[in-house]
Amino acid sequence: MTEQRVIDAINSHGDDIKTISCIIAGLLQQLRESQGAEGIESARQFALAVAQQMGQGGATAPDVDRINLVFNQHK
């Protein structure tokens, strides 16, 4: 793979991550408006349970600290 193709792939993944982050922020805002901090906390706990089920093996793993940060920022 050429260096430019690697750069293009990384940039594409960066775009995907930013897009997903925007979608999640919108959903969390709507959840907070409809269910308050309790709804955000329930969703945070569910996300942590999903992260635990994914496990920590392999080359990638969910970042539990970042999961907590994202949800806590929207309470």
Amino acid at 6: V
Structure letter (DSSP) for residue 74: T
- pLDDT of 8 reads 86
Q: Which residue has the tokens 């994914």?
A: 54
At residue 28, the pLDDT reads 97
**DSSP secondary-structure letter at 70?**
H
Would you state the pLDDT for residue 55? 75
pLDDT tens digits along 19-75: 999 999 999 999 999 999 999 999 999 999 999 999 777 788 999 999 999 999 998
Mean per-residue pLDDT, 6-17: 88
What is the predicted pLDDT for the residue at 1?
72
The pLDDT, as a whole number, for residue 38 is 97
